[in-house]
Each structure stands twice: as structure tokens, then as C-alpha cells.
Amino acid sequence: MTDEFDQLDAFLDEAYEGQERLSSLDLQRRAIAAGLPATLLTRVDALPEGEYAQDEAAEALRLA
């Protein structure tokens, strides 16, 4: 699980570079473009609609 969380953190660092908030749809699109593994794509797809700061997205994705 730690490896997945490391991948998740790296993805979020890249996705949020220069961005304060991203929508769940933006995160889904970026996750697909980044080639995240299916297990992480499932987590990103499960995010409720809305906008997230990086720390909010990280918390929500770890709980998914």
C-alpha cells in the first residue's frame, strides 16, 4: 500500500504544480494522462464532484 501512496503523492505533486484547486474531473483526466495504475484510477474516479486543494484530495484518495 505504501508504494501506491507514494505513486499517489507523486501524481498529486505533479497535478497541482501551479494550481491551488482542481476539480474531480480535472483530477480524473490528469490521472488517465499520467497512466496511473487501475487501482489508483479507481480511487480518483470515486472522488465526489467538487474542487479539491491538494491536501483535501490526498486525504480523500487515501480514504477511498
Q: What percent of the chain has pLDDT over 70?
A: 97
Model confidence band, residue 2 (pLDDT cutoffs 50, 70, 90): confident
Whether the per-residue pLDDT at 64 is higher than 80: the answer is: no
DSSP state of 39: H
pLDDT of residue 1: 61
Q: Is 52 exposed, middle or buried (0-12, 13-18, 19+ CB in 10 A)?
A: buried
